[in-house]
Amino acid sequence: YGPIKARLAEKMKSKLIKEIRSSLENSLDFDLPQGIEEKIAEELKVPKAEHEFNKIIKFITGRDPEKATEEERKKEGSEKCLALVYEGENAIQKIRKVLGETNPEDAAPGTVRKDFGYNVIKNGAHASDSVSSAEREMRIVQIEKDDIARIVKKYY
């Protein structure tokens, strides 16, 4: 998950910069020196990204990765999902248009995320952002098993 965590760390930095200045100035009751928030954000971006990544893993699997034993990590998670593979020309762009923006608040009316999402994490659906991501994600969910019949029988 290294590349995911690295991208998340860079995203966290810009959010941290905004939050640090207002939080510290309010808490400390004085104006911070110019540029200090960038230095603090640089130090905090990796632990913040790790924290956010673990929240995502807990949401997806039902287990806190910080507290799960090695044996628990090997077991199937308690949360369920349905993985669909879209194929064809421009499949990624097409499905992402149907799903809408990641944040349901920003998604267009009639999109999956606008109609069924709650927030950025619970946004109703996931779609790969590239062919390489799709290939990696299909390996993770073991899409070649094609076990939809087993799932349908279990729940219906």
From the list 11, 15, 51, 126, the catalytic residue is: 126
Q: In the numeric block, which tokens belong to residue 71?
A: 């044996």
Give Cα separations from 128 to 19, 32, 112, 143 (angstroms): 29, 40, 15, 14
Rounded distance between C-alpha atoms, residue 79 and residue 62, angstroms? 6
Residue 51 known to be catalytic? no
Q: In the numeric block, which tokens belong to residue 94?
A: 């097409």
Q: Are 46 and 29 in contact (CB under 8 A)?
A: no
Query: What is the amino acid identity at position 28?
Result: L
Q: In the numeric block, which tokens belong to residue 150?
A: 């087993």
Query: What is the amino acid identity at position 25?
Result: E
Q: In the numeric block, which tokens belong to residue 12?
A: 């966290």
Catalytic residues: 126
